Amino acid sequence: MLSSHLLFVAFLSSGVSAARLYASHYSGTINILNLNGNTLTLVNSTSTGNTLPSWITYDSPGKALYIADEVFYGASSGNLASFSISSDGALKASGKGPTAMGVVATTLYGGADGRSFIANAHYQTSQISTFKLPLTGAQPLQTLKYTMDGPGKIPSRQDAPHPHHVFTDPTGDYLIVPDLGADLIRIKRIDRSSGKLTECGTGKPVPGTGPRHGAFWGSGANTTLFIANELSNSVSGWKVAYPSASTGCLILTLQDTLTPYQGNASAPTGTKVGEIHVKDNFVYTSNRNDKRFSGNDSITQYNIASGGKITWVENTSSYGTYPRSFDINKAGDYIAVGDQTTSNVAVVARDTVTGRLGKMVATLRIGAAGTPENEDGLSAVVWAE
């Protein structure tokens, strides 16, 4: 009696209620996870229906999931797969769209609701492609291909343009594409009704930066774009200036750059800054293969001051290796880290006031562990909220 009462109190005071997450694994599965108290369990694991699932776009109002296909060998093309989500979280395949090889990120955009189209960033094939939703199996609506005159400063990674992420700005009028190969932050204007993208300038990081992923903070004159730079292992803040004419382009001006380490120290050799997310006045990066925590890699927290300037706050464990993916829940009291090579999802407590990451609450290995530097293991994790 007493012990069950104490357990019940402990459960309540842990503050954790039930939550659902989805995690993709490069072996070709999408996994449904439940977080209940301090326990993370695998509810179901099913085939994505494509070859190398690399990324999950979760459409909360549309009760749908989109899973990108990074396939880059053994086949000539891949498929963007869509799923509908039932009230208990179960997934049902609902459509496909044929994609050229190497899709590493997707985003919803356009239409009156901001989610009538989907854009794909193709790392391998140096392009962006789009579909009108729902996916019907039809060819892309638009394909934008990029070329370079010669290799970039780091030829082993900058042999060609490599769009690595695609996401909208806070107004929904522009699409941003960090291009790791070309050292460009590509900007596209969105025609909301047709879903068509038009080139609208670039931000130009210094050669060898390798911009990978990005996230926005603020609004109006304070709007700042934070970019995680994979090759220079740093984060850059770019001030965003909006045009006065609705036909103009936004302009990016570099404001500051910081490494993920105290005193702006350089990353250990072999580190590859990965994901970036903004929550309130804090920005976080995952630092793959820096092995800062007894073999585990790290996450860095920065504070964002008025005007968008950043300061380093602390580094914490990613509770696994190669944290390719992480997602902060809406309440802001948990972060789910998707560690690729150890192939685990680690749920870590987060202080909603200070933004600091605390103890690991739960961890679960999904599928087979990966091999360092290979496209295997866990690829992405999202909270289903």
Ligand X SMILES: *[C@@H]1O[C@H](CO)[C@@H](O)[C@H](O)[C@H]1NC(C)=O
**SS3 label, residue 333:** coil
Minimum CB distance to ligand X smaller for 49 or for 111? 49
Which listed residue (90, 241, 331, 368) binds ligand X by CB under 6 A?
90
DSSP bridge pairs for 251: 241
Alpha helices, DSSP H only, in the chain? 2-13
- 79 C-beta neighbours (distance < 10 Å), count: 22
| Min separation Cβ 153 and ligand X, Å | 14
Task: Supply φ then ψ for residue 110, to 5 degrees.
Answer: 70, 175
Minimum CB distance to ligand X smaller for 7 or for 221? 221
| Min separation Cβ 339 and ligand X, Å | 7
| Min separation Cβ 5 and ligand X, Å | 30
- Determine if 259 is a binding residue for ligand X (CB under 6 A): yes
CA 150 to chain centre: 29
- Determine if 306 is a binding residue for ligand X (CB under 6 A): yes
C-alpha count within 13 angstroms, C-beta hemisphere, residue 314: 10
Name residues contacting ligand X, limited to 324-353 (CB under 6 A).
Answer: 342, 344, 346
Closest CA to 146 of 124, 131, 168: 124
Minimum CB distance to ligand X smaller for 127 or for 296? 296
Give the span between the Cα atoms of 232 and 285, in whole angstroms. Answer: 13
Which listed residue (12, 75, 221, 241) binds ligand X by CB under 6 A?
221
Given a contact cutoff of 8 angstroms between Cβ atoms, the answer to whether 150 and 160 are in contact is: no
Which listed residue (50, 168, 224, 234) binds ligand X by CB under 6 A?
234
- Determine if 224 is a binding residue for ligand X (CB under 6 A): no
How many residues bind ligand X (CB under 6 A)? The answer is 30
Minimum CB distance to ligand X smaller for 150 or for 220? 220
Question: Could you tell me the CA-to-CA distances from 49 to 100, 112, 234 in Å, in that order?
Answer: 16, 30, 36
DSSP state at residue 263: G
- Determine if 257 is a binding residue for ligand X (CB under 6 A): yes
- 36 C-beta neighbours (distance < 10 Å), count: 14
Binding flags for ligand X, 310-329, as an x/- string (CB under 6 A): ----xx-x-xx---------
Which listed residue (36, 94, 171, 363) binds ligand X by CB under 6 A?
363
Instruction: Please list, in sequence order, all residues whose beta carbon lies within 8 angstroms of the beta carbon of residue 125, skipping any fewer than 6 positions away.
Output: 100, 101, 102, 145
Which listed residue (44, 139, 311, 374) binds ligand X by CB under 6 A?
44
Given a contact cutoff of 8 angstroms between Cβ atoms, the answer to whether 78 and 103 are in contact is: yes
> Contact positions toward ligand X, by CB under 6 A?
44, 46, 90-91, 219-222, 234, 257-259, 261-262, 264-266, 293-294, 296, 306, 314-315, 317, 319-320, 342, 344, 346, 363
